[in-house]
Amino acid sequence: MRRRILIIEDNFANMELMEYLLRAFEYEVSAAVDGIAGIELALTTVPDLIICDVHLPKMDGYEIVRRLKEAQALRNVPVIAVTALAMVGDQEKVLNAGFDGYIGKPIDPESFVGQIARFMRNGPTLKKAAGPAHNTDAESDRRS
Amino acid sequence: MSFDFNRLVLREMPDGIVITDPAGIVVHWTAGAEQLFGFSSDEAVGRSLNDIIVPPDRIDEENRILQETINNGVCYYESLRLTKGGSLVYVDISSKAIHDTLGQLEYILFSKKDVTHLKAMRDAKLLDAKFRDLLESMPDSIIMVNMTGRIVLANSQAEKLFGYAPGALRGQLIEILLPERFRGGHVAHRSYYFGAPRTREMGAGLELYGLRRDGTEFPVEISLSPLATEEGTMTMSAIRDLGQRRRAEKKFRGLLESAPDAIVIVDQAGEIVLVNSQTERLFGYPREELLGKKVEILVPPRYGAVHPQYRDGFFKNARTRPMGAGLELFGVRRDGSEFPVEISLSPLETEEGLLVSSAIRDISERKRIERSLHEKNIELEAASLAKDRFLASMSHELRTPLNAIIGFTGTLLMKLPGPLTADQDKQLRTIQSSARHLLSLINDLLDLARIESGKVELIPEPVVCQEVIRELTETLGTLADKKRLWFKVNLPPEDIVVLTDRRSLRQILINLINNAIKFTDEGGVLISLCERIADGASHVEISVTDTGVGIKPNEQAKLFQAFSQLDSTSTRRFEGTGLGLYLSQKLAELIGGKLSMQSEFGKGSTFALVLDATHPLRMCKETQP
């Protein structure tokens, strides 16, 4: 059976990118553009993993993850923040808010699906984070 | 022989014997009389007693006595008489009418005995019983004098002030309490005063002095009031020692005038003893209006009620301290206007007892500056907060579109949508590297902004250098492998520990190692670690050596500047942001280290980070914002 992933993301291009990548790797993807719709969808479909942005209209990611974690049915569903909040301290803040993982934007398309798969295997209790693409990417050039 | 004795009696008799004619004109005046009244026989004979020794207000009495003597033959009485010097003496008088053989009144004989002292002692006894308790209860020194200028009562305050034993002043002439040079004049003054007694300040406007038993003088202020008693009119004088005020003034004047603050010195009764001219200016009072007044005159009325309590409290536990620390204090000017002040109090031990010196500073101006600084601060904080928010949203907003650019370039290059032509592949890789360059720029600029605004949080902790290097070589070594470069690490067997911020150390090393790999096409990269002792200090050096393109000497100087990308003739690729080394150097400074470089063009470069291992924690702390 194909694994099901719910993406809560308001930016069309970023939604499209993640949907495309995950579908290319045989995941079943459902999408919501705000927290209200996302939580409803999560409760009705109970996906295997939820990807959630932090900056969102109506309800921010922190509130969404709080509500998701309150639902008995979603207790074992990892919720991963994929966000452009990449200042110092943002990752800690996100993980402290209840997210099971953190992936900074821009994502690294080659490793993104692998990271998601790892979070899914590890389940919701193990907090793992993958930094923004440039941190793991040695291509970043620092010579003046 | 008997005649000789009569002469002897007349000549040597201590009492004054005076003989007048029936009209009261002196016909005989003995040596005793000269002694008693000060007039010589030549001066007295031929003049009326009323003109020389009878005080004007006693002439009626004298006439009555004369009449009685004539009527009865004798008369005994006590009365006041004037002396040549103008002072009054109490005399005990016996008079006898002398008749000639025909029974005609021929002379009147007076025997006058000086009882001034006895009288004073008598008065003293009476007045003591009557007034002692009352006078002892008064704070001032009080001395009561009878009409002859004899002290009939002095309270113990007065005795102490003038240095006399209890009771020792009784019966003494008041003049013994005056310096010699004033005594003569004083006798006339007091006779004059008895002529028209009323309550008043003595010698208003004059400098008056008292004389202590030990001969020392001191300035005094005296007020006089008449007191009618059965024993005649007494003069009561209240004497205040101005010495305390004057001496304190003399001692501190110079000091006080040189102080920048208004200084007010207060005694235990809360009275102002001394002020400097700064006080006059600050409070708008002339000095004379402040001296002797309660210090509460300078305190706003709403505090006036509680202030004396605080004042007493201070004297009970006197030590230098700011007044009402933490409270807003105000002074009040003569015109009633108030102003904020800062006051510091210090006890002042003087010979006359404990005084308190208060230094008062007008802080209106400082308050105003504080207020405006406070407002400025709020503005700056708001500006700093706005800047932080701006940086955070800039970071967020730039990353969001980059996500789609890098992401879809990636999916295309991963050939997820389908195969690519060689040109498509090449162009997509250009997009990819440009996008990543842009991302690096964003990251570096944000880092720089954080460093320059002092927002880098340094957490000094013991860091094992070997651990950090091994960890980095695992991830970065694969890059070297991809370029078929050798990658060596030369670490000493014993752990080298520095107290530093791990994150900053890592970031610097990542930059250096990345650069080394990036700019080396043949050969490899060596990372080495060593500890050096120089000048008694221990330094840890981590160096990254490559066999890359190297840097021309004329370009080496520019290397650590921002955006000073080396030109294309010395590098084949320059995808860097131009900020990497600049940032690394800033970070190195933050953790108390230094970056150095050695390079030979065409042969390779060595970049080294040197950390002070002796005092790294201190240095880290010093550089913390």
* pLDDT tens profile B518-536: 888 889 999 999 888 777 7
- Residue length, chain B? 625
Residue B266: both structure tokens together: 């207060």
Position of tokens 């150097």? B585
Question: CB within 8 A of B521, min separation 6: which ones?
Answer: B483, B485, B548, B549
The answer to whether the beta carbons of residues B8 and B27 sit under 8 Å apart is no
Chain B residues with beta carbon closer than 8 angstroms to that of A142: 440, 444, 510-512, 514-515, 576-577, 579-581, 583-584
Q: Which one of 3.10.450, 1.10.287, 1.20.120, 1.10.10 gives the CATH number of domain B367-452?
A: 1.10.287
Find residue B322's DSSP bridge partners: B344
Question: At how many degrees (to 10) do helices B422-452 and B364-413 cross?
Answer: 160
Q: Does the beta-carbon distance from A142 to B403 stay under 8 Å?
A: no
The answer to whether the beta carbons of residues B369 and B380 sit under 8 Å apart is no
- Interatomic CA distance for residues B581 and B578, integer angstroms: 8
The pLDDT tens digits of the residues spanning B574-588 come to 456 677 888 888 889
Q: Looking at residue B550, what is its pLDDT?
A: 84
Q: Looking at residue B401, what is its pLDDT?
A: 92
Chain A residues with beta carbon closer than 8 angstroms to that of B408: 17, 20, 109
* pLDDT band at A135; cut points 50, 70, 90: very low
CATH no. for B118-241: 3.30.450.20
Nearest alpha carbon to residue A61 among A37, A97, A86, A92 = A97
More confident of the two residues B261 and A29? A29
ipTM over 0.85: no
- Tell me whether strands A28-32 and A4-8 are parallel, antiparallel or unpaired: parallel
Which among A20, A106, A141 has the least Cβ separation from residue B575? A141
- Interatomic CA distance for residues A134 and A54, integer angstroms: 20
- The per-residue DSSP string of B452-499 comes to HTT-PPP-EEEEEHHHHHHHHHHHHHHHHHHTT-EEEEE--SS--EEE
- Interatomic CA distance for residues B151 and B142, integer angstroms: 11
The answer to whether the beta carbons of residues A83 and A105 sit under 8 Å apart is yes
Q: If you average pLDDT over residues A103-126, what whole number do you get?
A: 85
pTM recorded for the entire structure: 0.48
Q: Where are the domains of chain A?
A: 4-133
Three-state DSSP class for residue B239: strand
* pLDDT band at A103; cut points 50, 70, 90: very high
- Tell me whether strands A49-52 and B338-350 are parallel, antiparallel or unpaired: unpaired
Which H or E element spans position B74?
strand B74-82
Amino acid identity of residue B441, one-letter, is L
Which among B411, B433, B582 has the least Cβ separation from residue A144? B582
- Interatomic CA distance for residues B143 and B607, integer angstroms: 99
- Interatomic CA distance for residues B257 and B533, integer angstroms: 60
Q: Looking at residue A136, what is its pLDDT?
A: 37
Distances (CA, A) of B289 to A76, B220, B297, B619: 87, 19, 10, 61
- Interatomic CA distance for residues B182 and B211, integer angstroms: 10
Q: Does the beta-carbon distance from B403 to A106 stay under 8 Å?
A: yes
B408 to chain A: closest CA residue: A17
A141 pLDDT more than 60: no
Q: Looking at residue A111, what is its pLDDT?
A: 92
Q: If you average pLDDT over residues A97-125, what whole number do you get?
A: 88
Question: Taking the CA atoms of chain B, what radius of gyration do you get in angstroms?
Answer: 54
Which among B410, B435, B583 has the least Cβ separation from residue A110? B410
- Interatomic CA distance for residues B589 and B452, integer angstroms: 12
- Interatomic CA distance for residues A66 and A63, integer angstroms: 5
Position of tokens 């943002």? A90
- CATH superfamily for domain B460-623: Histidine kinase-like ATPase, C-terminal domain (3.30.565.10)
Question: Taking the CA atoms of chain A, what radius of gyration do you get in angstroms?
Answer: 14
- Interatomic CA distance for residues B538 and B472, integer angstroms: 24
Q: Low-confidence residues of chain B, pLDDT below 50?
A: 566-574, 615-625
Q: Does the beta-carbon distance from B403 to A141 stay under 8 Å?
A: no
Q: Looking at residue A101, what is its pLDDT?
A: 93
Q: Looking at residue A104, what is its pLDDT?
A: 92
How many CB pairs below 8 Å do chains A and B form together?
Answer: 140
Question: CB within 8 A of B129, min separation 6: which ones?
Answer: none
Q: Looking at residue B326, what is its pLDDT?
A: 67
- Interatomic CA distance for residues B54 and B62, integer angstroms: 8
A140 in contact with chain B, both atoms CB, cutoff 8 A: yes
Q: Looking at residue B452, what is its pLDDT?
A: 78
Residue B74: both structure tokens together: 């004798």
CATH no. for B2-114: 3.30.450.20
B284-293 contacts: CB < 8 A, separation 24 or more? B284/B333, B284/B334, B284/B335, B285/B334, B289/B334, B290/B264, B291/B245, B292/B245
CA quadruple A111, A114, A115, A117: dihedral, nearest 10:
160
Fold identical between B273-362 and B367-452? Answer: no
Q: Per CATH, is B273-362 categorized as 3.30.450.20?
A: yes
Q: Where are the domains of chain B?
A: 2-114, 118-241, 273-362, 367-452, 460-623
Q: Looking at residue B620, what is its pLDDT?
A: 40
Chain B residues with beta carbon closer than 8 angstroms to that of A143: 514-515, 518-519, 571, 574, 576, 580-581
- Tell me whether strands B232-241 and B217-229 are parallel, antiparallel or unpaired: antiparallel
The answer for A 73-132 residues in CB contact with B (under 8 A) is: 84-88, 104-110, 112, 132
Fold type of domain A4-133: Rossmann fold (3.40.50)
Q: Looking at residue B204, what is its pLDDT?
A: 60
Mutation for testing the B interface, residue in A25, A93, A141 having most B CBs under 10 Å:
A141
Q: Does the beta-carbon distance from B439 to A13 stay under 8 Å?
A: no
Residue B105: both structure tokens together: 């009144």
Chain B residues with beta carbon closer than 8 angstroms to that of A112: 407
